Amino acid sequence: MEWLPHITVATIVEDNGRFLMVEEHKAGRNVLNQPAGHLDPDETLIDAAVRETLEETGWDVEPTGVIGIYLYTAPSNGVTYQRVCFSAKAVKHHPDYQLDDGIVGAKWLTRSELIAQRDNWRSELIIRCIDDYLAGHHFSLELIRPSL
């Protein structure tokens, strides 16, 4: 059996203690996640984070750092995901932007509000990334090296 990990990006966007989250319809129910998605061919990790955030929330963002690199194997399908999580600041909202299929909408939630909705998390990576962000795990974008 061939093992192929999936490379994904996620973005932590914080504004006065509230985090930009995505409510999406997956497997017959609505779940919460950071703006996140798969790396596309010929795309940089930073460009993927900016694109996914716009496509899922209608927000333009400016990446400010790297929070961490995570491995997660989804119990639902056994797929291993490598997530590169970025911090970013919100730049401009496009309220009429056509969001990706399956996206219910964007929400700004505090950590406490997220904890109260634990049963609706897409994965445990949500709180792990936020807690790493809050703990000050901020690395330079220079950590992400361009392709040769």
Residues 44-79 have pLDDT tens digits of 999 999 999 999 999 999 999 999 999 999 888 888
Is the pLDDT confidence value at 148 over 70?
no
Biggest CA pair distance of the chain: 47
Is the pLDDT confidence value at 117 over 70?
yes
128: its two tokens: 């792990």
Q: Which residues contact 104 (CB under 8 A, 6 or more apart)?
A: 23, 24, 25, 30
Average confidence score pLDDT of the chain: 94
Burial-class residue 107 by CB neighbours within 10 Å (0-12, 13-18, 19+).
middle
86: its two tokens: 């970025």
- What pLDDT is stored for residue 2 in this prediction? 75
Confidence band of 1 (pLDDT split at 50, 70, 90): low
Query: For the residues 128-145, what does the mean pLDDT come to?
Result: 96
